[in-house]
A and B are shown apart, each in its own frame.
Chain A
């Protein structure tokens, strides 16, 4: 075996993943080849120094606390239900509980499936507003924002002319929903910021049993939402502006050519 061949095994050697046989053979080779032994030693040293040098950045206690509090806040149940069936036989109580559970589960599942997709998009919208870098392409010009998505998404879309409207385009970024890439566009009206999400219709919502045929308006956590499908794409407008503003932005998007 040549030194080149021995050296091709050095990564596995420094990572302690080479086989027992390779390990024994390598160590035997090191005893007769000072050059390979020096090379192995150097690589081990670099690995060890990298390990030390790379543990360089620590989060601030405030940031850790913020994340922990956020998780705790999300874990808090909205309400609790405690019921003691006084004066009823255990069988009757169990039957009543069973009926209640079936009804609650049926209603709950329907509501959850309908609302979950929207709730997740609201999450994305709020996370964007909370970010220090809300968009990756910052421009009020639709002819700058739209081409930026070229090559980043498996589809394209049109943006409206906003010259005679109260809305201003702020920019956009690529986002992901259920592992599918989509566009998130940020608009502003007065002091409100609204997101328009655009995804391929085939990739989301279908398994969510959402009834978003036609134009659907909704309120999700006090955010106003409007959703529709067009040309194989699913559009969702989300914002804390008035329902009229959300509707107007939806109309502008639908009129975009």
Chain B
């Protein structure tokens, strides 16, 4: 068995311009769930946030740029068939997430998904542990960042969509393609995992 590396050079990079320049779709859509305007008017305001979300998923600048570029390409191509009455932001995030899941990094992350059901009851501690609460009160920004990086992708993405993007549970459901009940149970499990990570890191730092 032999393997070979693919080296992308400047010539291949230049194909990018051609790639966007040849096909024109329907550009203006009258009503996107109350939003209207050209693709650019609707999609570009989301650019920075989509990039941030992509970076958190891919954890790499080049991969995040690829992810965002592919997302915009797919969205642009599908804009004419975008269904009225659906949420444009959730649609863009869904494209980005699905693109990530079919990427090399995404396939790796989905292979590591826990088999534990989302619908299962979340076991909360019977009594609040005061030491944990005390530890969590000392959490710093860096600890939060590290904990987010350590979380499995399915937990990381739902926390980001809820806490950073401030999406409603319904929007999160549309983005992730899961029912509302699953959004709530997965979010609860994600936050529990986050608190456990934070407590562990804080405990290590305090020792």
Q: Which A residues lie at the B interface, using CB under 8 A? A: 3-4, 7-8, 11-12, 15, 17, 35-36, 38-39, 42-43, 45-47, 49-59, 63-64, 66-78, 119-120, 122-123, 126-127, 129-136, 138-141, 143-144, 152, 168, 170-171, 173-176, 181, 186, 193, 221
Question: CA A3 – CA B129 in complex, angstroms?
Answer: 12
In this complex, the member of A47, A54, A64 whose beta carbon has the largest number of chain B beta carbons within 10 angstroms is: A54
CA–CA, A130 and B14, complex, Å = 7
Does the CB pair A141–B2 fall under 8 Å?
Answer: yes
Chain A positions within 8 Å of B5 at CB level:
138
Chain A residues within an 8 Å CB radius of B107: 136, 152, 174
Query: Does B68 lie within 8 Å of A59, measured CB to CB?
Result: yes
Q: Nearest Cβ in chain A — how far from B140, in angstroms?
A: 8
Do A77 and B65 have beta carbons less than 8 Å apart?
Answer: no
A-B pair number, CB within 8 angstroms: 213
A43 to chain B: which residues have CB within 8 Å?
A: 191, 195
B115 sits at the interface (CB 8 A): no
Interface of A is mostly: helix
CB distance from A12 to the nearest CB of B (A): 8
Can you list 12 A-B pairs with a CB-CB distance of less than 8 A? A8-B122, A17-B169, A49-B144, A53-B148, A54-B56, A71-B20, A132-B63, A138-B4, A143-B1, A144-B3, A168-B4, A170-B4
Cβ A38 vs Cβ B133 within 8 A: yes
In-complex Cβ contact of A130 among B12, B24, B72 (8 A): B12
Most buried by B among A11, A69, A77: A11
- Using known A-B contacts A36-B128, A46-B195, A52-B141, determine if residue A67 contacts B16 with beta carbons closer than 8 Å: no
Interface size band for B: 35 or more
- Give the complex CA separation of A123 and B74 in angstroms: 9
Per-position contact with A for B123-146: 1 when CB-CB < 8 Å, else 0? 010111010010011010100110
Known contacts A127-B73, A175-B102: does B141 contact A59 (CB below 8 Å)? no
Measured CB to CB, the residues of B under 8 A from A are 1-6, 8, 12-13, 15-24, 27, 38-40, 44, 47-48, 51-52, 55-56, 61-66, 68-70, 72-73, 76-77, 98, 102-104, 107, 122, 124, 126-128, 130, 133, 136-137, 139, 141, 144-145, 148, 159-160, 162-164, 166, 168-169, 184, 187-188, 191, 194-195, 198
Q: Is there contact, CB below 8 Å, between A59 and B65? A: yes
Q: Are the CB atoms of B77 and A75 closer together than 8 Å? A: no
Beta-carbon contact of B20 and A70 below 8 Å? yes
- For A15, what are the chain B residues with a Cβ–Cβ distance below 8 Å? 162, 169
By the criterion CB–CB under 8 Å, are A57 and B102 in contact? no
Residues A123 and B52 in contact, CB atoms below 8 Å apart: no
Q: Which B residue sits closest to A58, measured CB to CB? A: B48
Q: How far is the CA of A69 from the CA of B40 in the complex (A)?
A: 11
Interface contact B66-A133, CB-CB below 8 Å? yes
**Chain A residues within 8 Å of B55, by CB:** 56-57
A73 to B195 alpha-carbon distance, docked (Å) = 47
